[in-house]
Structure 1
Amino acid sequence: MSQVLPPIPPSQPAPPVPPSFPPPSPGWAPPHRRPRRAGFAVAVLTGALLVGGGAGLGGAALYDAATGDGSGSGGTSSLPVVDNGNRPAASGSVESVAAAVLPSVVALDVRGSGGEGSGSGVVLDSEGLILTNDHVVTLGGQIPADQAEVTVSFNNGEKVPATVVGTDPLTDTALVEVDGVADLKPVTIGKSSNLDVGEQVVAIGSPFGLDATVTSGIVSALDRPVEVARDAQGNATAYPAIQTDAAINPGNSGGPLVNMDGQLVGINASIRSTSSGQGAESGSIGLGFAIPIDEVLPIIDQLRAGDTPTHARLGIQVSDVAGAAGSSDATLSGARIAEIERGSAASDAGLRQGDVITAIDDHRIEGTEALIATVRSYRPGETVKITYLRDGKESTTELKLGSDG
């Protein structure tokens, strides 16, 4: 069973969760930049980066000294050089996408009583509204969002303080706002539902504090169940993630994933790590995950209106199952109903304790994470068809999803 994703410092391989939540499992890590006070593992990697940087600079200095003629002219060579000038970027190229989107991407530095860290964000409107991750502004759940001291750095080098408008831990979404910044360029918002597996995408952000870093890849999978948080009772929540092999690293959290038209289709939120120890560092291994923008837009509207975000719910507690419900098929998978709330959407639709949910509409349910992520992709009040097994017999029922609001 997959475990929780983002909300802890990115130097840790597990996702960040509020302190009252149970600790997340190893192997997953939010890609926001490591806090500067994150302990030995961070110090080791930072030291390695500093040594590497120093070596690179030293090497360049030695090269200049060895090849220079003392004349001070560093731009000449006896070798033939072809200068084609700066060619215009081809439409639909990574270069053209970067040129269009970079002015909309920002870096966020966050301070609070729990330490400090940073991540990325994207400008939503000309008034200064910026979208990022909840785990960026709360330092992985270490501080309340309203106590975060946020500084936003724009692509032109301007730095201004920002105010947290609101957050939604269940979708790892946060809005911050800046005032008095002229000539903001809002990102163009696309539809994540139009994405196809194999489609090229571009990720932009500030991995390891390297602002305005552009990487590209493809959509590796869609609707990948990825845990993002657990509540105080230990109940998991997940979202149907966009999986990409575009390099995503600590510091990319909150930054945009865009299609080749330069349209925002996802918010980079987490990565898969090969590390599992508390002191281990994580980096890109070609398994990055973004929150689909279609799932985020309703939350943005509620946050900017000052409302508490709402989410669809069935009103059940579930567990993973294999070869269950009296079926002779040992390969059967699904989510078994362990508890059901009286008066909930599931109860009113006739579902019972022990039923095994195998599909919601045309989405296969292979376990608890898939169920949670699929329900999260709907809004309260929407009608869905539930396919389930009871005593080895498959049945369907329709229900109107409830709300946690």
Structure 2
Amino acid sequence: TVAGGGSGTTGSSLSGPVNAEQPEGTAPDGTLEAVADKVLPSVVSLDVVGPNTRGEGSGVILSADGLIITNNHVVGMAEPAGGITVRLHDGTRAPARMVGGDPTTDIAVIQVETDQPLTPITLGTSATLNEGQAVAAVGSPLGLSGTVTTGIVSALDRPVRAGGAQSDQSTVIDAVQTDAAVNPGNSGGALVNMNGELVGINSAIASTGGSGSIGLGFAIPVDQARRIADQLIKQGYATRAVLGVSVSDTPQGYGALVRSVEPGGPAEQAGIEEGAVITKVGDRVIDDGDALVAAIRSRAPGDIVSVTYAAREGAETTSTDVALGEAR
């Protein structure tokens, strides 16, 4: 008999009539098909040319007049002598210019120059995301525009160096981790919930020797990305919250060791001194230096946060309220 059972008689279902029609969508709300229908017109492909290099990535339409959010590492090479070309969902290509970029948070905003009608993404919130929640990543991996992959929120508040393992703390982002397949070219694209609402900007992947997805993708939470994008649009630059310390990992591998304190900065004013070990910001446990950087950057300048610390490693901990400062 043939694989799959049956008697092996010729004239089986393989020679029967074929239904060439797919079910008419309107797909029910909350299904992946409905999410794709809603989100795909709002996600674009980017071709970026720098003075001596070329790259590609993705972007998300924020407004009907052509504002697009993406990663700074995708479009930053275009300044000052390069160029950005946007490919819309219908295949139309149009030039774009930089509105502003922020390397620290890895967010940039560009303006596409087109008369084409544009479909802005629906903005959601990252504040209520849960581990295990279904999400979809939409972008242009390896130049394949309009690609949709699915997965879940694997973790929240994940400190990630957007510049890779060799980068320093200046590139640390506070990320949403997902197992939705994210590959080179997805950067700057959309991470959406099952209502088709933007919850993150895909930014980085972890890989083991190769350059493809191993189920470890990272997105900048939309609440952070939205605040930075709004500043870039309004004033051309972004600010971030700072504690006023430089930190490293502790020798024992738990907490962030304060290496230096900015004179007159928020930490000094709160009584945190060099040699202190910070173990919590609010309810968030701080495992290492990058975790502290990510936790502070997830806040806005002026926020008042509770910081738990020990005056030195092994000492008893205490908590104090700190009003976060502002830096560009």
Could you say whether these structures have the same fold, taking a TM-score greater than 0.5 normalized by the shorter chain as the test? yes
8 A contact 2:106–2:171 mirrored in 1:
no
C-alpha contact 1:389 1:395 (8 A) present in aligned 2: yes
Pairing 1:130–2:42 present? no
Q: Does the residue aligned with 1:135 lie in a helix, a strand or coil?
A: helix
2:316 is matched with 393
Residue deviations 1:113-139, cap 9 Å, x none?
12111100011000000111111112x
Residue matched to 1:79 = 16
Which residue number in structure 1 is paired with residue 222 of structure 2?
293
Give 1:329's aligned residue. none
Supply the AA of the counterpart residue of 1:153: R
Alignment map for 1:223-242 (pairs within 5 Å): 223-229=157-163, 235-242=169-176
Tell whether the 8 Å contact from 1:316 to 1:346 is kept in structure 2 after alignment: yes
Q: CA deviation at 1:183?
A: 1.5
The residue aligned with 1:263 is: 197
1:344 corresponds to which letter in structure 2? Answer: G
C-alpha deviation, 1:298, in angstroms: 1.4
Separation (CA, whole Å) in 1 of partners of 2:236 and 2:49: 25
| C-alpha contact 2:152 2:178 (8 A) present in aligned 1 | yes
The one of 131, 138, 141 equivalent to 1:207 is: 141
SS at match of 2:278: strand
Q: Which amino acid aligns with 2:173?
A: Y
Per-residue CA deviation, residues 276-311 of structure 1 (Å, 9 max, x unaligned), is: xxxxx4100000000001011111111111332111
Change (3 A) 1:209 1:237: closer
CA contact (8 A) 1:170 1:228 kept: no
Per-residue CA deviation, residues 133-167 of structure 1 (Å, 9 max, x unaligned), is: 111112xxxx3633330000001110001111110
> Within 2, Cα distance between the matches of 1:211 and 1:84?
24
TM-score using structure 2 length? 0.90
2:37 is aligned to: 99
Please tell me whether the aligned partners of residues 146 and 164 of structure 1 are also in contact (alpha carbons under 8 angstroms): no
Letter in 1 for 2:213: S
Say how many residue pairs are matched.
311
Q: How does 1:1-400 map to 2 (within 5 A)?
A: 78-81=15-18, 85-88=22-25, 89-138=27-76, 143=77, 145-229=79-163, 235-275=169-209, 281-323=210-252, 333-391=254-312, 392-400=315-323
8 Å CA contact retained: 1:170, 1:229 = no
Query: Which residue type is aligned with residue 397 of structure 1?
Result: T
* Structure 2 unmatched ranges of 5 or more: 1-13
What amino acid is the match of 1:169?
Answer: P
Q: CA deviation at 1:381?
A: 0.7
Amino acid corresponding to residue 390 of structure 1 in structure 2? A
Structure 1 gap ranges (5+): 1-76, 276-280, 324-331
Q: Percentage identity across aligned positions?
A: 48
Distance 2:81 2:115 in 1: 23
Q: Which structure shows the higher strand fraction?
A: 2
8 Å CA contact 1:240–1:376 kept in 2: the answer is: yes
CA distance, structure 2, for counterparts of residue 365 and residue 384 of structure 1: 14
Give the TM-score normalised by the residue count of structure 1: 0.74
Q: Which moved more, 1:300-309 or 1:249-258?
A: 300-309
